[in-house]
Amino acid sequence: QQPVQSPQAVILREGEDAVINCSSSKALYSVHWYRQKHGEAPVFLMILLKGGEQKGHDKISASFNEKKQQSSLYLTASQLSYSGTYFCGTELGAGGTSYGKLTFGQGTILTVHP
Amino acid sequence: AAGVIQSPRHLIKEKRETATLKCYPIPRHDTVYWYQQGPGQDPQFLISFYEKMQSDKGSIPDRFSAQQFSDYHSELNMSSLELGDSALYFCASSRTGRDEAFFGQGTRLTVV
């Protein structure tokens, strides 16, 4: 089951914040976040394994609400280099076991202007 | 650090021809995924392997097949190519199902 991302696109000025959401209709084992520049491979940002877990590095962080089966990616004080398409990838699972397949959402296009 | 290596980077084939894409995962990674990404679309899961055995199958056409070899490299074989097969094909690898998946640079297949 493909996770649903929102919004589909975000346009920011440098220094502004953004939130990208990812939700699933099925129980999640983990949520992965990737950023992809045009024509390049998706680059791993972070993985969240436990409900309620929050992770982050620099000004990009994410949370995972296992009960709501959703994750949010937070980008603060955005930089020009943040521009790209952000994908969440979800692994379904239950009882601490992954079903193994990583399925991507449809992506959120983030554009940061000077 | 070693990354996922895919070859070739670019491939041009005619309709009805066959193509073979190769993927060399990061050493000690035991899971390989194949994805197809059309222009402006999200990566679509095709197939995955865990310890050389097929572990899951997605929207992979019957014309496509894949396998993982004893050295853990994987090949995606595509026959009777159609124009709609033109896309970026990514391979990713991970260590078990708990760690992040790292992507190769992709193979851009163009069917003419």
Distance, CA of A57 to CA of B9 (rounded, Å)? 31
Of residues A65 and B16, the one with the higher pLDDT is: B16
Apex CA A111: angle with CA A107 and CA B3, to 5°? 60
CATH class of B5-111: mainly beta
Separation in Å, CA of B14 to nearest CA in chain A: 22
User: Residue B7 has which token pair?
Assistant: 């070859």
State yes or no: pLDDT of B57 exceeds 70.
Answer: yes
3-state helix, strand, coil in chain A (%, to 5): 5, 60, 35
- Tens digits of residue pLDDT in A79-114: 999 999 999 998 877 666 666 678 889 899 999 999
Give me the residue label for tokens 């004080």: A77
Domain ranges of chain B: 5-111
Instruction: Judge: B50–A99 Cβ closer than 8 Å, yes or no.
Output: no
Specify the pLDDT at position B70. Answer: 92
A10 against A94, higher pLDDT: A10
- Domain residues for the domain of A38 are 4-94+102-113
Cβ contact B57:B34 at 8 Å: no
Give pLDDT tens digits for B67-109.
Answer: 999 999 999 999 999 999 999 999 999 886 556 788 999 999 9
Is pLDDT larger for residue A100 or for residue B110? B110
CATH of the domain at A13: 2.60.40.10
pLDDT value of position B46 = 92
Confidence at residue A99, expressed as pLDDT on a 0 to 100 scale: 63
Percentage of chain B surpassing pLDDT 90? 69
How high is the pLDDT of residue A98? Answer: 65
Q: Cβ of B55 and A40 within 8 Å?
A: no
Question: What's the structural domain count of chain A?
Answer: 1
Minimal CA separation from A18 to chain B, in Å: 20
| Residue B82 backbone phi and psi in degrees, to 5 | -120, 160
